[in-house]
A = this chain, B = another copy of it.
Amino acid sequence: MKLEEFYKKNKLKEGNLIEITFENEKISGTIIPTNSKMLTLKFSTGYNAGFDIKKIKNVKILGQSKSVGKIEKQKIKKNPNLPTISLLHTGGTIASRVDYRTGGVYASFDGDDIATMFPELIKTTNINSILVSNMMSEDMNSEHYKKIVNAIEKETKNKIKGIIIGHGTDTLGYSSAYLSFALENCPLPVILVGAQRSSDRGSSDAAMNLVCAAEFIKKTNFKGVAICMHNSTNDDYCAILPATKTRKIHSSRRDAFKTINDTPIALINYKTKEIKWIKNKKKFENQNGKFLIKNKFEKKVGLLKMHPGINEKLIDFYKKEKYKGLIIEGTGLGHTPTGEKEVFIKKIKDLIKSGCIVAMTSQCINGRVNPRVYSNARILSNLGVIYCEDMLPETAFVKLAWLLGNYSKKEAEELLAKNLREEISDFSRVNVFEH
């Protein structure tokens, strides 16, 4: 049955507030226009989702809700006098008109869609719209990372001012770290943009984040990878955030992304479009090294958070599965339990002996790990556990997988706790013991 037939059979119209019943749940929302085969509902929270009509057991009309606009495409022409930005779509809330459960089939991110969704963006910019993937970011993995890097490489050969990547927010921080490592001496700006509210909601942050990213690309000579998201819950500033030191620290707020152990790079005033640099802009604008793409990722790398009573057999798991790297998210300054008769320490020793690089970060998130303060950490450090300074656990995980993909084990060990892409702050600059 097609969606039109489903509408007809159940006497539904776009804009109806309905309740649909599945085998195990009831869901209510307002029918919104869609190009997909799925029944698409907007919830009272403002989020949209698509539903397979074959699985719907019953439909009840709760009432005529406020009317919703049709998707009317605007035809746009490129203006040779405007700068061009390539917009790579990977999915996520920022593109949430589309139903993700259908795969890429119904996605049609051409320039016309962008014009409809973000008219402000196309007024001052030519947009090359490229579909890389179409997924919620919790499903992103290294195969998708590679695709994104390949798409970026292709775009760098075109006459463009920069690249914006639309990305789901769940794992945006992991992806930004990967791109940062994979694109050595990136010759143009690559700005990841997400949204915490879908673009068809009144409170959506999608348009502002995109427009600010485009303004930053147009008005500066920034080179490298960064993130552009709301700086606060107000619609006043967006922040350009460092790709390796930023984390999603709120599940729903629009200013969910914050730098950890670092500061934003710059702010963009949404009203005046002025750029206010926080970090020294020369550092980002004067970068002229040879552009190298290192696009390999070792899949046998894990990230394991410690907790009281954690089972030491988990360490065996990584040994049995022949892991090449493991980032531990320890407690405090970088600790694991010792375990009864030091069994936990022994398991880590065995894992290292098996050839796996084991490294330490902190579940405190903020601050630096330090193996010199308490004896437990000194033992781990002496076994060969690499202490990752003030690197985020997520960035350390991505970095180790990237290092093991592109370098020898020895090089990976040497480079892990060395600063390559601003993922480690200078200890003398941010002295954690001075607080």
Residues of chain A touching chain B, judged by Cβ–Cβ distance below 8 Å, are 22, 24-25, 27, 43, 45-47, 49-50, 100-101, 136-142, 168-171, 174-175, 233, 248-256, 299, 302-311, 313-314, 317, 321, 329-338, 362, 364-370, 372-376, 378, 382, 394, 397, 401, 432-433, 435
Instruction: Let me know if A364 and B249 touch, CB within 8 A.
Output: yes
Measured CB to CB, the nearest residue on chain B to A304 is B305
**Contact A138-B365, Cβ < 8 Å, known A374-B47, A433-B45, A435-B254:** no
* Contact B233 A332, beta carbon cutoff 8 Å: no
Minimum Cβ distance to chain B for residue A259 (Å):
14
Cα distance A100–B170 when bound, in Å? 40
Smallest CB separation, A303 vs chain B (Å): 5
* A321 B332 Cβ-Cβ under 8 A: no
Which residues of the other chain, B, contact A169 by a CB distance below 8 angstroms? 332
Name A309's contact: one of B141, B253, B394, B433 (CB within 8 Å). Answer: B141
Q: Closest CB-CB distance, A109 to chain B, in whole Å? A: 19
Contact yes or no, A50 B375, CB < 8 A? yes
User: Is there an interface contact between B174 and A308, defined as CB atoms closer than 8 Å?
Assistant: yes
Nearest Cβ on chain B to A264's Cβ, whole angstroms: 18
Cα distance A254–B432 in the bound complex, in angstroms: 10
CB-defined contacts of A372 to chain B, threshold 8 Å: 27, 43, 45
Given contacts A47-B373, A136-B376, 16 further A-B contacts (CB under 8 A): A43-B372, A49-B373, A49-B378, A50-B375, A138-B335, A138-B337, A139-B338, A141-B309, A170-B335, A171-B308, A248-B332, A250-B364, A251-B368, A252-B370, A256-B364, A302-B307
Cβ-closest chain B residue relative to A301: B309
A340: shortest Cβ distance to chain B, in Å? 9
A370 contact set on B, CB distance < 8 A:
45, 251-252
CA distance A411 to B179 in the complex (A): 46
Q: Chain B residues with Cβ under 8 A from A27's Cβ?
A: 372
Establish whether residues A233 and B171, one from each chain, have CB atoms under 8 Å apart when the complex forms: no
A141 and B343 CA atoms in complex are apart in Å by 14
A305-B332 in contact (CB<8A): no
Chain B nearest CB from A9 CB (Å) reads 23
Report yes or no: A253 in contact with B367, Cβ–Cβ below 8 A.
Answer: yes
- Inside 8 A of A299's CB, which chain B residues have their CB? 309
Q: Which residue of B lies closest to A316 (CB)?
A: B317
A142-B249 CB under 8 A given contacts A47-B374, A314-B317, A433-B46: no
A138-B376, A374-B136 as given contacts; A251 in contact with B332, CB under 8 Å = yes
User: Nearest B residue to A247 by beta-carbon distance?
Assistant: B364
> How long is the Cα–Cα vector from A177 to B101 in the complex, in angstroms?
38
What distance in Å separates the Cβ of A83 from its nearest Cβ neighbour in chain B?
33
How far apart are A203's CB and chain B's nearest CB, in angstroms? 8
Q: Is the CB of B138 within 8 A of A364?
A: no
**Contact status A142-B308, CB under 8 Å:** yes
Which residues of chain B are near A401, meaning CB under 8 Å? 309
* Interface pairs A-B: 3 shortest CB-CB: A251-B367, A170-B331, A138-B335
Given contacts A49-B373, A372-B27, contact A252 B433 (CB under 8 A): yes
**Does A432 lie within 8 Å of B251, measured CB to CB?**
yes
Across-interface contacts of A50 in B (CB, < 8 A) = 375
Check if A365 sits within 8 Å of B435, measured CB to CB: no
A136 with B435: CB separation less than 8 A: no
Contacts of A306 in B (CB 8 A): 138
